[in-house]
Amino acid sequence: MKYLLTGLGNIGDEYANTRHNIGFIVLDALASELKTSYTTQRYASLAEAKLKGKQLLLIKPTTYMNLSGKAVKYWLDKEKIPVENLLVVSDDIDLDTGVLRLRPKGSGGSHNGLNHIIDTLGHSDFARLRIGIGKNFAKGFQVEYVLGKWTKAEEKIMLEKIPVAVEMIKNFVLSGTQYTMNQYNNR
């Protein structure tokens, strides 16, 4: 069984440790725990690992956030991974900072990366782990906020939540979406 675990973010040092890159940050924590590292591949940085006999492909798209669907579709097709074995990890301004929410499908809302994946795949029937970053910004300043660095208070919350997000991803692989939702959502 193969799984495609995708963390959304933007490449480049100027985007490191920004709210919009929490998908990359969580995937890096998972890669570290699984003792694997990334190589540069087509459309993504790729790390491979095994978890209790299941093959994991971790990708961080190098296409920038708004074109994330190119990387997801390419790796699903190349590795012949069924869409039910796809998990996308992304930030979400509609959830309070640190709230973790797994869903089996749904709209992309205002998230351009999720919307591009939906448009590219032609459907929204894939699991996503949404990580709340809050919306503590003035009207018209959403871009600056999501591309901004964490405050000290936000960083403290996220440092506690990143290991939980990693556990949720592993549970998704080992026990499925429904079980993981029951165990972790609304905690």
Q: Could you give the residue numbers annotated as active site? A: 20
Identify the burial level of 8 via C-beta atoms within 10 angstroms of its C-beta, where 0-12 means exposed, 13-18 middle and 19 or more buried: buried
**Tally of CB atoms within 10 A around 121:** 16
Q: Return the H-helix or E-strand segment holding 166.
A: helix 152-175
Which stretches does DSSP call E strand in 42-104?
Answer: 44-51, 54-61, 86-92, 100-103
- Indicate the residue type of 80: K
